[in-house]
Amino acid sequence: MKRILPSLLSALLLGCTSLAGAQSDSLAISPSLSEPAYPVFSTELPGERSSVQTMDLTRQSADVWGRMRRGFGMPDLASPVVDQHLAAFTARPQAVTNILERGRKYLYHIITELEKRGMPTELALLPLVESAYNPMAFSPAKAAGLWQFIPSTGKDFQLQQNWWVDERRDVVASTNAALQYLQAVYELQGDWHLALASYNWGENAVLRAVNSNRNAGKPTDFNSLKMPRETAQYVPKLQAIKMIVAHPERYGIKLPDIPNTPYFVTVERNQGMDLAVAARLAEMPLSEFQALNPAYNRPVIPGSHDADLVLPVENARKFNDNLAAHAGQPLVNWKTYTVPRAGRIEEVAQRLRQSPDTLRAANGLAPRARLAAGYTLLIPQDADTTLAAAPAPAPKAQTRAIKVSKNPPPRALSKSVTRPVANADKPRRRS
């Protein structure tokens, strides 16, 4: 994603107006979406003929799919590329079902946030295109999270990125940022297909492509623009999955049964604690806890980070009850340790009598990392640092002759790792 226009960012920070959602110039070319997916009834009076139909919008949907269909608001896109993606999806029905199942944890929340803003609810399918609903997804372009923000875009949308946390992976924070951005580029472009292209390619690039076509007397719709292959595939892929969600039986795909109820709630937290301790208090596997709280880079949730915990509804009460019962007991089983002298992580681990793998994992270090003197490590609370602080033994005297070559080989270069700033710069998206 390219850097967002300053005027666009200013407007976004001042607050975007809500969207009406559907556009009146819908192409309505896809028979798969032309049929209503909700109850309709005629307003005809006896002896009269009327073409007006009304929708029963007061009726609650039993699952998220019915709710999503009721909020579809984007014009349909017709192109051979849409047909190609549709064929690819329908050729692997179980894979589609599995990916949508992965979205179970997030779909209710995303749809709710879209409805608050009056935005088309099919945008809740965009993380399928972006990350396959994997909040830990990380691209070669360094985009991260469900919505695949690159570092610079994350900063523009105030997503913290530091040694402790990466809010591009935070389910609640990144969803809010993504919908803010989508809303802003829609207001800039006035067209959802171009807004989505902007989200993928950058709004500056899309504006240049539109202006180029306009100056050449060519159409400026999505299908008429010259754009990178990834962007040209991006919107058609979303259209194809939307068609499947609209009529799964037509394409032989079974949607997972996801009820129209919240999967998670947020729980206030005002102190630091281990991820493992938090998961234990919530009575849930650590892997499940991390799927809802994937922003943390370390095994500790820092007390300075003010984000709430995200927990399944049934586990939130358990967490609060167990936390109250845990009073007086430690919530953090890690401490910091300043490396007194430079050395490889294996050497430091040996002095601390700890596993090198444990220290690497906790501190995000490369296998052969060399630490500079003064580097601060996260180490287990029970690690004994007294021996590690002892001075290194004096080297033994050399007794054999050392051959000095005329052209000695260059010294191996090894980067010393320096301690990143722990309180973060305040964090923009991809391309």
What does the block give as tokens for 161?
């990125």
Let me know if 115 is a catalytic residue.
no
Residues in CB range of 99: below 8 A, 6 or more apart: 128, 132, 133
- Active site residue: 122, 130, 167, 203, which one? 130
Three-state secondary structure call for residue 249? helix
- DSSP state letter for 138: B
- Give the relative orientation of helices 203-215 and 171-189 as an angle to the nearest 10 degrees: 20
Q: Which residues of 78-109 are buried (b: 16+ CB within 10 A; e: fewer)?
A: eeebbeebbeebbeeeeebeebbebbebbbbb
Three-state secondary structure call for residue 225? coil
Residue by residue, DSSP assigns 298-361 as: SSEE-TT--PPEEEEHHHHHHHHHHHHHTTTS-S--EEEEE-SS-EEHHHHHHHHT--HHHHHH
Cα–Cα distance for residue pair 312/73, rounded to 1 Å? 30
Name the strand (E) or helix (H) holding 368.
none
- DSSP state letter for 223: G
Sheet holding 370-371, edge to edge: 343-344, 370-371, 416-417
- DSSP state letter for 377: E
Task: Count CB neighbours of 341 within 10 A.
Answer: 15
Q: Give catalytic residues, as residue numbers.
A: 130
